[in-house]
Structure 1
Amino acid sequence: MTRDGTPGRDSDDNRVATADRDGDRGGDGDRGGDADRYDVPPDAEAIACPRCGRPFAGRRQRDLHLGVDHADLTADERAAFEAAREEETADLRRFRILSLGLLVLLYFGFLFVYALVG
Protein backbone atom coordinates (compact mmCIF):
# COMPACT_ATOMS: atom_id res chain seq x y z
CA MET A 1 0.00 0.00 0.00
CA THR A 2 1.19 3.49 -0.68
CA ARG A 3 1.34 6.22 1.92
CA ASP A 4 -2.02 7.63 0.87
CA GLY A 5 -3.70 4.26 1.39
CA THR A 6 -4.15 3.30 -2.24
CA PRO A 7 -2.90 -0.07 -3.43
CA GLY A 8 0.31 -0.05 -5.37
CA ARG A 9 3.93 0.90 -4.90
CA ASP A 10 5.44 3.93 -3.27
CA SER A 11 7.30 5.80 -5.95
CA ASP A 12 10.97 5.37 -5.10
CA ASP A 13 10.89 4.16 -1.48
CA ASN A 14 11.47 0.52 -2.42
CA ARG A 15 14.06 1.37 -5.05
CA VAL A 16 16.22 3.25 -2.52
CA ALA A 17 16.23 0.22 -0.25
CA THR A 18 17.36 -2.00 -3.10
CA ALA A 19 20.20 0.18 -4.31
CA ASP A 20 23.51 -1.61 -4.53
CA ARG A 21 26.52 -0.70 -2.41
CA ASP A 22 27.69 1.98 -4.86
CA GLY A 23 24.36 3.77 -4.63
CA ASP A 24 23.38 2.88 -8.19
CA ARG A 25 19.68 2.24 -8.47
CA GLY A 26 20.23 0.39 -11.67
CA GLY A 27 18.39 0.66 -14.94
CA ASP A 28 16.02 3.30 -16.11
CA GLY A 29 13.25 2.31 -13.72
CA ASP A 30 12.38 -0.80 -15.72
CA ARG A 31 11.09 -3.48 -13.36
CA GLY A 32 12.32 -6.28 -15.60
CA GLY A 33 15.82 -6.23 -14.11
CA ASP A 34 14.82 -6.14 -10.43
CA ALA A 35 15.99 -9.68 -9.75
CA ASP A 36 19.52 -8.82 -10.84
CA ARG A 37 19.85 -6.11 -8.19
CA TYR A 38 19.46 -8.40 -5.18
CA ASP A 39 22.34 -10.22 -3.58
CA VAL A 40 21.30 -13.69 -2.51
CA PRO A 41 24.02 -15.77 -0.86
CA PRO A 42 24.78 -18.88 -2.89
CA ASP A 43 23.93 -21.21 0.00
CA ALA A 44 20.61 -19.46 0.78
CA GLU A 45 17.30 -20.68 -0.56
CA ALA A 46 15.25 -17.87 -2.07
CA ILE A 47 11.66 -17.98 -3.21
CA ALA A 48 11.31 -15.98 -6.41
CA CYS A 49 8.33 -13.97 -7.56
CA PRO A 50 6.78 -15.74 -10.56
CA ARG A 51 6.18 -12.41 -12.34
CA CYS A 52 9.30 -10.29 -11.81
CA GLY A 53 11.78 -12.83 -10.40
CA ARG A 54 12.56 -10.86 -7.23
CA PRO A 55 13.92 -13.22 -4.54
CA PHE A 56 12.35 -13.45 -1.08
CA ALA A 57 13.38 -15.19 2.12
CA GLY A 58 9.97 -16.79 2.62
CA ARG A 59 6.62 -17.46 1.06
CA ARG A 60 4.86 -14.89 3.21
CA GLN A 61 7.08 -12.08 1.96
CA ARG A 62 6.60 -13.25 -1.62
CA ASP A 63 2.82 -13.44 -1.19
CA LEU A 64 2.71 -9.94 0.26
CA HIS A 65 4.83 -8.67 -2.64
CA LEU A 66 2.50 -10.29 -5.18
CA GLY A 67 -0.58 -8.66 -3.67
CA VAL A 68 0.99 -5.23 -3.40
CA ASP A 69 3.07 -4.98 -6.57
CA HIS A 70 1.21 -7.15 -9.07
CA ALA A 71 -2.45 -6.58 -9.92
CA ASP A 72 -3.27 -9.67 -11.99
CA LEU A 73 -3.46 -12.41 -9.33
CA THR A 74 -5.02 -15.83 -9.64
CA ALA A 75 -7.54 -16.95 -7.04
CA ASP A 76 -4.88 -19.00 -5.21
CA GLU A 77 -2.43 -16.09 -5.20
CA ARG A 78 -5.16 -13.73 -3.94
CA ALA A 79 -6.02 -16.16 -1.11
CA ALA A 80 -2.33 -16.50 -0.20
CA PHE A 81 -1.98 -12.71 -0.18
CA GLU A 82 -5.01 -12.29 2.07
CA ALA A 83 -3.70 -14.94 4.49
CA ALA A 84 -0.23 -13.36 4.54
CA ARG A 85 -1.73 -9.92 5.11
CA GLU A 86 -3.81 -11.19 8.02
CA GLU A 87 -0.74 -12.85 9.59
CA GLU A 88 1.32 -9.69 9.09
CA THR A 89 -1.43 -7.55 10.62
CA ALA A 90 -1.64 -9.86 13.65
CA ASP A 91 2.14 -9.80 14.08
CA LEU A 92 2.26 -6.00 13.85
CA ARG A 93 -0.61 -5.66 16.32
CA ARG A 94 1.19 -7.93 18.81
CA PHE A 95 4.42 -5.96 18.36
CA ARG A 96 2.61 -2.67 18.97
CA ILE A 97 0.92 -3.95 22.13
CA LEU A 98 4.19 -5.36 23.51
CA SER A 99 6.03 -2.13 22.66
CA LEU A 100 3.39 -0.03 24.39
CA GLY A 101 3.53 -2.29 27.45
CA LEU A 102 7.30 -2.01 27.57
CA LEU A 103 7.15 1.78 27.30
CA VAL A 104 4.57 1.96 30.10
CA LEU A 105 6.73 -0.27 32.33
CA LEU A 106 9.81 1.79 31.54
CA TYR A 107 7.98 5.04 32.26
CA PHE A 108 6.65 3.87 35.62
CA GLY A 109 9.99 2.28 36.47
CA PHE A 110 11.75 5.62 35.98
CA LEU A 111 8.94 7.37 37.87
CA PHE A 112 9.37 5.08 40.90
CA VAL A 113 13.18 5.38 40.80
CA TYR A 114 12.84 9.17 40.67
CA ALA A 115 10.35 9.12 43.56
CA LEU A 116 12.66 6.97 45.70
CA VAL A 117 15.94 8.71 44.83
CA GLY A 118 14.74 12.26 44.27
Structure 2
Amino acid sequence: MSTNTPSPSTEPDSPADPSDAISVAQRTDVETAVPAEAPVYRCDYCGRPFATESYRTLHHGLAHEGVLTDEGREAFEAAYEDENASLRRFRIIALGLLVLLYFGFLFVFAVVT
Protein backbone atom coordinates (compact mmCIF):
# COMPACT_ATOMS: atom_id res chain seq x y z
CA MET A 1 0.00 0.00 0.00
CA SER A 2 1.57 3.28 -1.03
CA THR A 3 0.95 6.63 0.53
CA ASN A 4 0.52 9.79 -1.45
CA THR A 5 2.97 12.22 0.05
CA PRO A 6 3.39 15.49 -1.77
CA SER A 7 6.86 16.17 -3.06
CA PRO A 8 8.43 19.40 -1.88
CA SER A 9 8.19 22.24 -4.34
CA THR A 10 11.35 23.83 -5.70
CA GLU A 11 9.74 27.27 -6.08
CA PRO A 12 11.19 29.82 -3.64
CA ASP A 13 7.79 31.46 -3.02
CA SER A 14 5.86 28.25 -2.37
CA PRO A 15 4.79 27.69 1.22
CA ALA A 16 5.70 24.57 3.17
CA ASP A 17 2.21 24.24 4.66
CA PRO A 18 -0.59 23.59 2.10
CA SER A 19 -2.98 25.78 4.08
CA ASP A 20 -0.63 28.70 3.40
CA ALA A 21 -1.02 28.16 -0.37
CA ILE A 22 -4.33 29.99 -0.37
CA SER A 23 -2.91 33.04 1.33
CA VAL A 24 0.10 33.16 -1.01
CA ALA A 25 -2.19 32.87 -4.04
CA GLN A 26 -4.44 35.59 -2.68
CA ARG A 27 -1.48 37.88 -2.07
CA THR A 28 0.00 37.47 -5.53
CA ASP A 29 -2.98 36.93 -7.86
CA VAL A 30 -4.49 40.39 -7.42
CA GLU A 31 -4.51 42.36 -10.65
CA THR A 32 -2.86 45.76 -10.37
CA ALA A 33 -3.21 48.74 -12.67
CA VAL A 34 -1.63 52.18 -12.69
CA PRO A 35 -3.12 55.19 -14.50
CA ALA A 36 -1.27 56.08 -17.70
CA GLU A 37 -0.04 59.49 -16.52
CA ALA A 38 1.04 58.30 -13.04
CA PRO A 39 4.57 57.12 -12.23
CA VAL A 40 4.92 53.34 -12.23
CA TYR A 41 6.88 51.43 -9.61
CA ARG A 42 7.61 47.94 -10.95
CA CYS A 43 8.45 44.92 -8.82
CA ASP A 44 12.10 43.95 -9.23
CA TYR A 45 11.21 40.24 -9.11
CA CYS A 46 7.97 39.78 -11.07
CA GLY A 47 7.52 43.10 -12.92
CA ARG A 48 4.04 43.92 -11.58
CA PRO A 49 3.17 47.65 -11.62
CA PHE A 50 2.31 49.60 -8.46
CA ALA A 51 1.09 53.15 -7.99
CA THR A 52 3.34 53.95 -5.02
CA GLU A 53 6.72 52.82 -3.82
CA SER A 54 5.15 51.84 -0.50
CA TYR A 55 2.80 49.39 -2.24
CA ARG A 56 5.74 47.87 -4.09
CA THR A 57 7.69 47.53 -0.84
CA LEU A 58 4.73 45.82 0.84
CA HIS A 59 4.42 43.50 -2.17
CA HIS A 60 8.11 42.59 -1.92
CA GLY A 61 7.71 41.60 1.73
CA LEU A 62 4.52 39.61 1.21
CA ALA A 63 5.14 37.88 -2.12
CA HIS A 64 8.94 37.67 -2.31
CA GLU A 65 10.00 37.39 1.33
CA GLY A 66 12.37 34.50 0.62
CA VAL A 67 14.60 36.53 -1.67
CA LEU A 68 14.65 39.87 0.19
CA THR A 69 17.89 41.41 1.35
CA ASP A 70 18.27 42.76 4.87
CA GLU A 71 17.73 46.28 3.53
CA GLY A 72 14.58 45.19 1.71
CA ARG A 73 13.28 43.45 4.83
CA GLU A 74 13.84 46.61 6.90
CA ALA A 75 12.02 48.69 4.25
CA PHE A 76 9.13 46.20 4.31
CA GLU A 77 8.89 46.32 8.10
CA ALA A 78 8.83 50.13 8.06
CA ALA A 79 6.14 50.21 5.35
CA TYR A 80 4.15 47.56 7.21
CA GLU A 81 4.26 49.56 10.45
CA ASP A 82 3.14 52.72 8.60
CA GLU A 83 0.28 50.81 6.97
CA ASN A 84 -0.78 49.36 10.33
CA ALA A 85 -0.75 52.82 11.93
CA SER A 86 -2.97 54.16 9.15
CA LEU A 87 -5.38 51.24 9.50
CA ARG A 88 -5.48 51.63 13.28
CA ARG A 89 -6.34 55.33 12.91
CA PHE A 90 -9.07 54.52 10.38
CA ARG A 91 -10.59 51.90 12.69
CA ILE A 92 -10.66 54.30 15.64
CA ILE A 93 -12.32 57.02 13.54
CA ALA A 94 -14.86 54.54 12.10
CA LEU A 95 -15.69 53.26 15.58
CA GLY A 96 -16.15 56.82 16.84
CA LEU A 97 -18.49 57.63 13.95
CA LEU A 98 -20.53 54.47 14.60
CA VAL A 99 -20.87 55.37 18.29
CA LEU A 100 -21.96 58.91 17.39
CA LEU A 101 -24.45 57.57 14.86
CA TYR A 102 -25.85 55.09 17.39
CA PHE A 103 -26.34 57.71 20.10
CA GLY A 104 -27.69 60.18 17.53
CA PHE A 105 -30.40 57.72 16.54
CA LEU A 106 -31.02 56.92 20.20
CA PHE A 107 -31.60 60.59 21.04
CA VAL A 108 -33.81 61.10 17.99
CA PHE A 109 -35.86 58.06 19.01
CA ALA A 110 -36.15 59.39 22.57
CA VAL A 111 -37.36 62.80 21.34
CA VAL A 112 -39.82 61.43 18.77
CA THR A 113 -41.52 58.89 21.04
Shorter-chain TM band: 0.7 to 0.9
Residue ranges of structure 2 left out of the alignment (5+ in a row): 1-18
TM-score where L is the length of structure 1: 0.70
Deviations 1:34-57 (A, max 9, x none): xxxx54433221100100011111
C-alpha displacement of 1:15: 6.5
Residue 42 (structure 1) aligned with residue 55 (structure 2): no
Deviations 1:53-103 (A, max 9, x none): 111111110010000000210111111100000000100100110000000
| Superposition pairs of residues 65-80 of structure 1, within 5 angstroms | 65-70=59-64, 71-80=66-75
The equivalent of 2:26 in structure 1 is: 13
The equivalent of 1:64 in structure 2 is: 58
The equivalent of 2:107 in structure 1 is: 112
Moved runs in structure 1, 4+ residues, more than 4 A?
6-9, 14-17
Task: For 1:68, give the aligned amino acid.
Answer: L
Equivalent-residue separation in structure 1 for 2:84 and 2:108 (angstroms) = 36
Residue ranges of structure 1 left out of the alignment (5+ in a row): 1-5, 19-37
Equivalent-residue separation in structure 1 for 2:72 and 2:29 (angstroms) = 27
Equivalent-residue separation in structure 2 for 1:15 and 1:78 (angstroms) = 18
1:10 aligned counterpart, secondary structure: helix
Higher Cα Rg, which structure:
2
The equivalent of 1:86 in structure 2 is: 81
Equivalent-residue separation in structure 2 for 1:16 and 1:75 (angstroms) = 25
C-alpha displacement of 1:8: 7.4
TM-score where L is the length of structure 2: 0.72
Equivalent-residue separation in structure 1 for 2:56 and 2:102 (angstroms) = 39
- Alpha-carbon contact 2:28-2:63 (below 8 Å) kept: no
Pairwise CA RMSD: 2.3
